[in-house]
Amino acid sequence: KNQVEQSPQSLIILEGKNCTLQCNYTVSPFSNLRWYKQDTGRGPVSLTIMTFSENTKSNGRYTATLDADTKQSSLHITASQLSDSASYICVVSAGTPLVFGKGTRLSVIA
Amino acid sequence: SAVISQKPSRDICQRGTSLTIQCQVDSQVTMMFWYRQQPGQSLTLIATANQGSEATYESGFVIDKFPISRPNLTFSTLTVSNMSPEDSSIYLCSVEGGHEQYFGPGTRLTVT
């Protein structure tokens, strides 16, 4: 069964600190892996998309990594800001439909 | 990119009634997708709507419960029929653009 598991479920960090979110998947065949940010009351917004051959991709303070052999991905957030408080969703594409994780709820506090 | 708007943004409805959610995209798209996001759960695809044909529903979702219209390439509606409290959820409209998936802001539905 195609599944995407994310950890931790929730996370609280101090402003300015770094954090890493994890994503493990059992999706086949694999097309690409995406990370989305979903602010409360809004739809998900794409942060990164990685194909099989890409190991890392950055978008500002967000850096995603992908290990296709172990079927693991991580999202690293550097120098966190209050505006980073949101849910971060890992999504794996094996065609249609996309397979979504439940997300990690990140709270950045001052 | 695609800009998607949804109406209403939220609603509180009584059980047994129906609610129609509208989705408007700022560009023409072939396929539009409707998702449900229940509290603490991942997004689940309800159906894919193509202009000029019947929507394709995922396992566990049926047309009688979630009728969809797709009158043109920029607009779609999803109706949640004969609602029960279990239908309380966020409903999201989505489109594809290149390799990107764009989502609307969602409609937060509460059924009492």
**pLDDT tens digit sequence for A23-33:** 999 988 888 99
> Which of B40, B101, B106 is opposite residue A46, by nearest beta carbon?
B101
> Which of B43, B48, B108 is opposite residue A100, by nearest beta carbon?
B43
pLDDT at A41: 85
- The answer to whether residues B70 and B55 touch, using CB atoms and an 8 Å cutoff, is yes
The answer on pLDDT for B68 being more than 90 is: yes
Contact of A24 with chain B, judged by CB distance below 8 Å, is answered with no
Nearest-CA residue of chain A relative to B90?
A41
Nearest CA to B15 out of B100, B82, B105, B106 is that of B82
Quick one: average pLDDT of B28-40?
A: 93
Chain A nearest CA to B93, separation (Å): 9
Nearest-CA residue of chain A relative to B4?
A43
Quick one: average pLDDT of B83-98?
A: 94
Quick one: average pLDDT of A56-84?
A: 96
pLDDT at A33: 95
Contact of A4 with chain B, judged by CB distance below 8 Å, is answered with yes
Contacts of A15 (CB under 8 A, 6+ apart): A80, A81, A82, A108, A109, A110
The answer on pLDDT for A88 being more than 90 is: yes
The pLDDT mean for chain B works out to 94
pLDDT at A28: 83
CA dihedral A93, A96, A102, A103 (to 10 degrees): 40
Quick one: average pLDDT of B88-105?
A: 92
Quick one: average pLDDT of B11-34?
A: 96
> Which of B40, B101, B104 is opposite residue A102, by nearest beta carbon?
B40
The answer on pLDDT for A48 being more than 80 is: yes
Nearest-CA residue of chain B relative to A50?
B99
Of the pLDDT bands very low, low, confident and very high (cuts 50, 70, 90), residue B35 is: very high
The answer on pLDDT for A96 being more than 80 is: no
The answer on pLDDT for B99 being more than 80 is: no
The pLDDT mean for chain A works out to 94
Q: Which has more pLDDT, B63 or A30?
A: B63
Nearest-CA residue of chain B relative to A98?
B45
Chain A nearest CA to B95, separation (Å): 12
Contact of A47 with chain B, judged by CB distance below 8 Å, is answered with no
